[in-house]
Amino acid sequence: MMLKYSFDMPAESAWIERAVARVLADGYRTGDIYREGEGKKVGTTEMGERVRDAVLKTSSER
Amino acid sequence: MVVRELTGGIYFGEPRGESVMNGVETGINTEIYTRPEVERVARVAFDLARKRTRKVTSVDKSNVLESSVLWRRVVSEVGAKEYPDVSLSHMLVDNCAMQLIRNPRQFDVVVTTNLFGDILTDEASMITGSIGMLPSASIGGKVGLYEPIHGSAPDIAGRGSPTHWRWYFPSR
């Protein structure tokens, strides 16, 4: 939101949104959105690291 | 995306306070908006709409409240004069509370008062599954303070509990 609306960086903003979508699609969930039997429950540290790694990946794609 | 007016309305209006009137305990708050306050927040909403789908819904209670009659008129004027390329519609807040549950996709940018925005943003957050999914920002002039919508929760920092990583999430 900050990148898109304050900094006019829509491409970088989209990297982050896609990274988050990818990590969720891979089944990772923090406790607040985890449901029994759906995906893998992780802590916020691991979730943050996974999003960061996904950003690095999506930003190098076209 | 909901644009909530943040420094006016009933949370700050005078007169306010508790007293005893004619022997009866009484609490008073005042819903008050001025033209410049409404123009300012309307422009924030219209500017955001231009970066999205150019669609604004202004939410008020103009069938009962005079402050909302002014709100609706000023938002309409700003839209017509300065943002003819953005589509604007109006909705009463009670109907909006229903429509958010019935069909949230009909909305893009919602602009509303401090009180109504306080309630509607919490309602809307549940559509995403968790209030932690949402970013928020306080915008004033050229400054934007971005933060998680739920605060920083320092009492559970460092425990890996859900609250700290999600401030950069998609806005819809």
**pLDDT tens, residue by residue, A5-60:** 889 999 999 999 999 999 999 999 998 889 898 899 999 899 999 999 999 998 88
Q: What is the pTM of this model?
A: 0.83
Q: How far is CA B78 from CA B39, B85, B96, B108, in A?
A: 7, 12, 22, 18
Distance from CA of B132 to the nearest CA of A (A): 8
Predicted-complex ipTM score: 0.72
CA distance B128 to A55: 21
Q: Residues B136, B151: contact at Cβ < 8 Å?
A: no
Question: Can you give B33-80 as a three-state secondary structure string?
Answer: CCHHHHHHHHHHHHHHHHCCCCEEEEEECCCCCHHHHHHHHHHHHHHH
Q: Look at residue B156 in the predicted model and tell me its pLDDT.
A: 58
Beta-carbon neighbour count of residue B30 at 10 Å?
13
CA distance B139 to B86: 21
Question: Residue A17, by phi and psi: left (phi above 0), alpha (psi -120 to 50) or beta?
Answer: alpha
> What is the chain A residue with the closest CA to B170?
A17
Q: Look at residue B142 in the predicted model and tell me its pLDDT.
A: 77
- Phi then psi for B74, rounded to 5 degrees? -70, -45
Q: Which residues lie below 8 Å from residue B40, measured CB to CB, with a gap of 6+?
A: none
B137/A48 touch (CB, cutoff 8 Å), yes or no? no
Q: Residues B49, B109: contact at Cβ < 8 Å?
A: yes
Q: Which of B47, B55, B108, B118 is catalytic?
A: B118
CA distance B147 to B144: 10
Whether residue A2 is predicted with pLDDT greater than 70 in this model: the reply is yes
Q: How confident is the model at residue A1 (pLDDT cuts 50, 70, 90)?
A: confident
Instruction: List chain B residues with CB under 8 Å of A21.
Output: 170
Q: Residues A31, B161: contact at Cβ < 8 Å?
A: yes
Question: Residue B9, by phi and psi: left (phi above 0), alpha (psi -120 to 50) or beta?
Answer: left
- Phi then psi for B113, rounded to 5 degrees? -75, 170
Q: Which residues of chain B have pLDDT under 70?
A: 149-172
Q: How far is CA A28 from CA A8, A31, B6, B130, in A?
A: 30, 10, 35, 15
pLDDT, tens digit, for every residue of B45-87?
Answer: 999 999 999 999 999 999 999 999 999 999 999 999 999 999 9
B118 is catalytic: yes
